[in-house]
């Protein structure tokens, strides 16, 4: 018997066995991908994939979906080791792909409508790569003194004098940004020019203002500062607030200023019905020059999986993308995470139908909560943000939900945030409904902690 404890394994086993409804990321919600299992089998059959020697029977076969549903961490690790490899013959190389990874990324590119690259270290890695590429693009434009972009990027200062080529470049950051953005600006020696907004969210986080006012403030910042390599926007923010990216892109296009989008929470927007939700379009469909999206937040993918999407407008640096990702990533990217992204490609054709169906259920639940008298903050279709009121704090909501076997994404005294995907079940929605019904019947606050142990808002400033 070992002299050492295994607290992480013990916690994961306990949580997996608790039957908690997961109102937090990752998007697979800890359940088997049963809704899409037929599609996975179909894709495997179409490609003529045979079971390897010694593989489990069809009834017990282990794919990524089954791994997520393993009954214990020990069982999972014992089985998953068969699939955990490195860059061996035939396995390709994430940062210099020419085989299976290249094929998989090309499939993702078709799905998202832009040149797409995999990240196994979340949108944090992709954010840093975006800034590296934006700076390279800016340097390229400065190298062509006659280009429109060069005239824009090397704009004159307030005194009318042309900026020195040695001037430190800047980026205009709108609202609150993830700390990975600031890490990149430090590493790349890029000045940050903040465009703040006066509108506040329940958590005190600056959210996006009206488009006209915001465009005006952005253009003022462009005119007042030297060497803008781009405008950086978080879309949506942690509370699900969005802005009209297309209008902002149109305004920036006239000045040849790139639009960079941290769309970590927007991956599933690609599968929304745009006729029904016109304000929630994927950044690639809004003309973003560079954007990242986190697969693991809103898609059925493992934690750490994300995409970097590159528009044709950045074709001058497309050959630099893998190097940029390599600069900020490990030399040992996880093939399990890449397999998770690859598996979603095979499931994606059915995901739009799954998302649209589940959006209807979430809309109904939001209406029911509002009818009960609770105040909901406007948010994207599959996020529910409930604000505190004269009766209840956010911590009261979280405590009641936990009593009903629900764990939320985040809460504070002023709010709770619940993140849902089609992998939440009708039973999960019933638990949310029952939790708020019990609060509506009591109308009495409880003595609960004012905030969760870890609040993701600490990652933004």
Q: Please state the domain count of the chain.
A: 3
Q: Which residues contact 65 (CB under 8 A, 6 or more apart)?
A: 32, 33, 34, 36, 37, 40, 343
Q: How far is CA 375 from CA 1, 368, 412, 416, in A?
A: 53, 11, 15, 11
- Shared-domain flag, residues 60 and 133: no
| Domain end residue (candidates: 292, 326, 347) | 347
224-245 per-position pLDDT tens digit: 776 689 999 999 999 999 999 9
48: left (phi over 0), alpha (psi -120 to 50) or beta: left
- Shared-domain flag, residues 259 and 159: yes
Burial class (CB in 10 A: 0-12, 13-18, 19+), 434: middle
Record the pTM.
0.84
Burial class (CB in 10 A: 0-12, 13-18, 19+), 247: middle
CATH number, domain of 445, equals 3.90.1150.10
CATH number, domain of 317, equals 3.40.640.10
178-192 per-position pLDDT tens digit: 999 999 999 999 999
Q: Which residues contact 383 (CB under 8 A, 6 or more apart)?
A: 239, 240, 265, 417, 418, 419, 420
- Report CA torsion sign: 87, 66, 300, 179: negative
pLDDT on residue 423: 95
Whether residue 63 has pLDDT greater than 60: no
- Shared-domain flag, residues 316 and 376: no
Q: What span, in angstroms and rounded, lies between the C-alpha atoms of 108 and 114? A: 9
Whether residue 64 has pLDDT greater than 70: no
- Shared-domain flag, residues 202 and 270: yes
Whether residue 1 is contained in a domain is answered as: no
HSE of 315, CA atoms in CB hemisphere, 13 A: 2
Q: Which residues contact 162 (CB under 8 A, 6 or more apart)?
A: 154, 156
87-117 per-position pLDDT tens digit: 999 999 999 999 999 999 999 999 999 999 9
Q: Which residue do the tokens 């209008």 mark?
A: 247
- Shared-domain flag, residues 124 and 252: yes
Backbone φ and ψ for 202, nearest 5 degrees, come out as -55, -30
- Shared-domain flag, residues 343 and 354: no
Residue 17 lies in domain: 7-80
CA-wise closest residue to 28 among 363, 384, 331, 294: 294
Q: What span, in angstroms and rounded, lies between the C-alpha atoms of 361 and 71? A: 29
């Amino acid at each position: 018997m070992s002299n050492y404890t295994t607290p992480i394994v013990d916690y994961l086993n306990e949580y997996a066995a608790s039957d908690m409804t997961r109102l937090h990321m990752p998007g697979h919600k800890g359940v088997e991908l049963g809704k899409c299992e037929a599609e996975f089998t179909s894709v495997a059959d179409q490609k003529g994939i045979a079971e390897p020697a010694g593989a489990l029977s069809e009834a017990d076969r282990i794919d990524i979906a089954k791994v997520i549903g393993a009954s214990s961490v020990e069982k999972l690790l014992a089985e998953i080791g068969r699939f955990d490899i490195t860059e061996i013959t035939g396995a390709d190389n994430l940062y210099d792909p020419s085989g299976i990874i290249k094929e998989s990324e090309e499939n993702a590119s078709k799905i998202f409508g832009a040149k797409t690259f995999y990240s196994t270290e979340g949108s944090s890695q992709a954010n840093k790569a975006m800034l590296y590429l934006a700076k390279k693009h800016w340097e390229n434009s400065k190298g062509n003194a006659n280009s429109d972009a060069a005239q824009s990027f090397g704009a004159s200062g307030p005194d009318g004098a042309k900026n020195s080529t040695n001037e430190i470049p800047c980026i205009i950051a709108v609202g609150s940004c993830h700390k990975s953005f600031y890490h990149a600006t430090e590493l790349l020696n890029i000045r940050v020019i903040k465009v703040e907004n006066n509108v506040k969210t329940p958590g005190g986080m600056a959210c996006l203002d009206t488009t006209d006012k915001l465009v005006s403030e952005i253009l003022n910042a462009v005119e007042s500062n030297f060497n803008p390599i781009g405008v950086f926007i978080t879309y949506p923010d942690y509370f699900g607030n969005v802005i009209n990216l297309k209008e902002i892109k149109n305004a920036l296009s006239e000045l040849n200023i790139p639009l960079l989008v941290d769309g970590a929470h927007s991956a599933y927007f690609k599968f929304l019905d745009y006729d029904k939700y016109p304000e929630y379009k994927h950044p690639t469909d809004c003309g973003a020059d560079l954007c990242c999206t986190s697969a693991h937040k809103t898609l059925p993918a493992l934690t750490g999986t994300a995409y970097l999407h590159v528009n044709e407008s950045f074709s001058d640096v497309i050959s630099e993308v893998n190097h940029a990702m390599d600069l900020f990533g490990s030399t040992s990217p996880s093939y399990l995470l890449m397999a998770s992204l690859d598996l979603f490609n095979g499931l994606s054709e059915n995901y739009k139908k799954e998302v649209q169906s589940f959006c209807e259920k979430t809309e109904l639940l939001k209406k029911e909560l509002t009818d009960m008298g609770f105040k909901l903050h406007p948010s994207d279709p599959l996020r529910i943000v409930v604000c505190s009121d004269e009766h209840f704090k956010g911590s009261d909501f979280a405590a009641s939900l936990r009593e009903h076997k629900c764990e939320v994404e985040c809460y504070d005294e002023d709010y709770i945030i619940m993140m849902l995907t089609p992998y939440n079940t009708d039973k999960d929605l019933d638990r949310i409904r029952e939790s708020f019904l019990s609060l509506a019947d009591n109308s009495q606050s409880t003595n609960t902690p004012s905030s969760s142990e870890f609040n993701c808002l600490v990652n933004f400033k």
